[in-house]
Amino acid sequence: MTSPIVIMSLLLWATVAGVDLATVPQGLLSRPLVAATVAGAIVGNIEAGLLSGMVLELYALDVLPIGAAWYPDFGAASVAAAVAAAVVPLPVVAGVAGVVALPIAVFGGWTIQRLRRFNGASVQRRLERVAAGDARAIWELQRNGLLRDIARSFMLSVCALLVAAIVMSITWENVRGAEWLSWATIAGGLIAAIGGALRSAGQGARRRWYAVGLSTGVAVALLA
């Protein structure tokens, strides 16, 4: 991870993933499975990226960004998780991904709320022009919103990669019981996925489809 090109690539990718979530293009680049797998490829350990993305994706499945509800930002968090997980023993990958990503995702969600407050203040400053139908004022608000989110996402990415660097400095092979972190992260992810799916499924046909999927998944896991 020490190569400047790798660091720049990670910063760029984490920033793009963050902007994707709240601004443009909102095309699933910020999903943990996507963001972490690509980050794993950048640092040369796709397997760790995929595993980190998998455990964090379980948490993201619980999130429904409906209405104006608060939601976490898993973009930069997942990139940092994959980077840190790339250098740890396999049994600790999920734990390190959780330690790095979950707090950053929460912090990232808070930064989105702040971004929206700044956007609101920006609209207030141009209220008369917008009310008068000045298309240039509307364009300025869109441009500034995008630039603001790029800045937010870049700063979040820097913080996330610093956290990853700190976690990477730990010699995980010497940490007795480190696999407990993985068990905690996996259990939390499973609770998130199950709780989210059952809440979202409600009753009736969707719950039956969930039961069929769950049974099939158990059978596949047992036979594989």
Partner 1 sequence: MTPRTAALIRLYGVQAAWTYERMAGIGVGHASAPLLRDLYAASAPAERRAAVARSAEFFNSHPYLAGIAVGAVVRAERDGVDPAQISRLRIALSGPLGAIGDQLIWAGQVPALMGLALAASPWAGAWVVGALLVAHNVARLLLTSWGLDLGLREGLGVGSALSRSWIAQRASDAQRVAAFGVGLATPIAAWQLLGDARPAAWAIVGAITLVGSVLALAPGTRSHVSGLRVGLGLLAVAGVVIGGMP
Partner 2 sequence: MGVALYRVDDRLVHGQVVIGWGRPLGVRFIALVDPAVRASSWEQDLYRMAVPDGVEVFFADVAEAITLLPEWEADRRAGVVITGDLETMAALYTARPDLVNRINLGGIHHRADRTERLRYLYLAPEEEALLRRLDAAGAELSAQDLPTTPAVPLDEILP
Chain residues that interact with partner 2, rule: CB under 8 A: 64, 66-70, 113, 199-205
Q: Does 9 bind partner 1 (CB under 8 A)?
A: no
Distances (CA, A) of 173 to 39, 48, 55, 184: 23, 16, 21, 18
**Burial environment of residue 123 by CB neighbours within 10 A (0 to 12, 13 to 18, 19 or more):** middle
Pick the closer one to partner 2 by CB: 110 or 183: 110
Nearer to partner 2, 63 or 158 (CB): 63
Among 2, 3, 66, 174, binds partner 1 (CB under 8 A): 66
Binding of residue 77 to partner 1 (CB under 8 A): no
Q: How far is the CB of 119 from partner 2 (least distance, A)?
A: 13
Please state, in angstroms and as integers, the Cα–Cα distance from residue 170 to each residue in 2, 96, 175, following that order: 16, 11, 8
Is the Cβ of residue 2 or residue 176 nearer to partner 1 in the bound state?
A: 176
Binding test (CB under 8 A) with partner 1, winner from 6, 7, 107, 122: 122
Q: Which is nearer to partner 1, 9 or 144 (CB)?
A: 144
Contact yes or no for 82/44 (Cβ under 8 A): no
- 3 state SS of 69: coil
184 touches which of partner 1, partner 2, none (CB within 5 to 8 A by kind)? partner 1
Which pair of structure tokens corresponds to residue 96?
């390190």
Cβ proximity of 60 and 30 under 8 Å: no
Residue 23 interface partner, choices partner 1, partner 2, none, CB cut-off 5-8 Å depending on type: partner 1
